[in-house]
Structure 1
Amino acid sequence: MRIAATLLLVGMAGVFLLAHNMLSVHPAWGYVHAFAEAAMVGGLADWFAVTALFRHPMGIPIPHTAIIPQNKDRIADTMAQFLRTNFLTPIVVARRMRDMNVARAAGDFLVKRGDSTEGRLRAGAAQLFVELLESLDPDRLGLQVKAGLARQAEKLDVSPLLGRMLEAAIADNRHRPLMDSMIRWAGLTLEDNEEMVRTMVQDRANSIIRWAGLDGRLANSVLDGLYRLLAEILVDPDHPLRSKVQQGLEKLAHDLQHDPETRAKVERMKNDLLANPAVSDWWMGVWERLRRSLIEKIRNPDDAMNGEIGHSLAELGETLRQDPRLQLQINRFARRTLVGVVNRYGEQIVGLVSHTVKSWDASTVTGRIESAVGRDLQFIRINGTLVGGLVGVTIHLLTQVF
Structure 2
Amino acid sequence: MQKENQANLALAFSVLGAIGTAGQGNSFLLTTVHHGFLAATIGGLADWFAVKAIFGRPLGISHRTDILRRNRTRIMDALVSFSSDDLLSRDNIMQVVEREQIGTLLMEYLEHRGGRERLVNAAVEILGHIASDVDSRHIARELTPYIVRALHDLPLEDSFVEFLSVLAEYPHAERIFNLLIRMGHRILQTQAFQELLRENIASIRTEYERDGMIRAFVLSFFDDETIASWFTTRADEILQTALDPENRRHIDGVEAFGAFISGISADSSLRDILYHYKIRLVQNIDLEAIIANFIDTRIQGNHPFWLPYVKELLNDKVDRFVHSAAWQSRADRWVKDLISAEIEKHHELVAVFVRDYLNQKSDDELIAFLERKIRTDLQMIRINGAVVGAIVGIGLSLLVTLAERMWGL
TM-score range relative to shorter protein = 0.5 to 0.7
CA distance in 1 between counterparts of 2:397 and 2:323 reads: 74
CA distance in 2 between counterparts of 1:287 and 1:310 reads: 17
CA distance in 2 between counterparts of 1:339 and 1:44 reads: 51
Is the counterpart of residue 62 in structure 1 residue 62 in structure 2? Answer: yes
Find the residue that maps to 1:65 and give its secondary structure. coil
- Letter in structure 1 aligned against 2:16: G
Counterpart contact for 1:54–1:66, Cα < 8 Å = yes
CA distance in 2 between counterparts of 1:320 and 1:351 reads: 38
Task: Note the C-alpha offset of 1:77.
Answer: 3.3
Task: Note the C-alpha offset of 1:371.
Answer: 2.8
Counterpart contact for 2:49–2:58, Cα < 8 Å = yes
Task: Note the C-alpha offset of 1:83.
Answer: 3.1
- C-alpha spacing 1:293/1:87, structure 2 compared with 1 (3 Å): farther
Instruction: Note the 1:2-401 alignment, pairs <5 A.
Output: 2-20=4-22, 22-58=23-59, 60=60, 62-86=62-86, 88-113=88-113, 145-146=134-135, 228=258, 276=288, 279=291, 283=295, 288-289=300-301, 313=315, 316-317=317-318, 319-401=320-402
User: What is the percent sequence identity of the aligned residues?
Assistant: 19
Task: Note the C-alpha offset of 1:54.
Answer: 2.4
Task: Note the C-alpha offset of 1:354.
Answer: 1.6
Q: Which whole-Å deviations, capped at 9, do the CAs of 1:277-301 have from their partners, x for residues lacking one? A: 775565455565369999xx9xxxx
CA distance in 1 between counterparts of 2:365 and 2:303 reads: 45
RMSD over aligned Cα, in angstroms? 5.4
CA distance in 1 between counterparts of 2:263 and 2:39 reads: 116
- Letter in structure 2 aligned against 1:331: D
CA distance in 2 between counterparts of 1:332 and 1:104 reads: 11
Counterpart contact for 2:90–2:347, Cα < 8 Å = no
* Partner residue in 2 for 1:252: none
Task: Note the C-alpha offset of 1:375.
Answer: 2.8
Task: Note the C-alpha offset of 1:81.
Answer: 2.5
- C-alpha spacing 1:229/1:12, structure 2 compared with 1 (3 Å): farther
Find the residue that maps to 1:289 and give its secondary structure. coil
- C-alpha spacing 1:103/1:384, structure 2 compared with 1 (3 Å): same
- Letter in structure 2 aligned against 1:328: S
- C-alpha spacing 1:34/1:293, structure 2 compared with 1 (3 Å): farther
CA distance in 2 between counterparts of 1:386 and 1:310 reads: 72
Counterpart contact for 2:36–2:390, Cα < 8 Å = yes
Find the residue that maps to 1:23 and give its secondary structure. coil
Counterpart contact for 1:72–1:358, Cα < 8 Å = no
- Letter in structure 2 aligned against 1:3: N
Find the residue that maps to 1:360 and give its secondary structure. coil
Task: Note the C-alpha offset of 1:65.
Answer: 2.6
Counterpart contact for 1:109–1:317, Cα < 8 Å = no
Task: Note the C-alpha offset of 1:61.
Answer: 5.5
CA distance in 2 between counterparts of 1:358 and 1:35 reads: 46
CA distance in 1 between counterparts of 2:58 and 2:118 reads: 51
CA distance in 2 between counterparts of 1:369 and 1:310 reads: 54
* Partner residue in 2 for 1:213: none
CA distance in 2 between counterparts of 1:356 and 1:369 reads: 13
Task: Note the C-alpha offset of 1:72.
Answer: 4.1
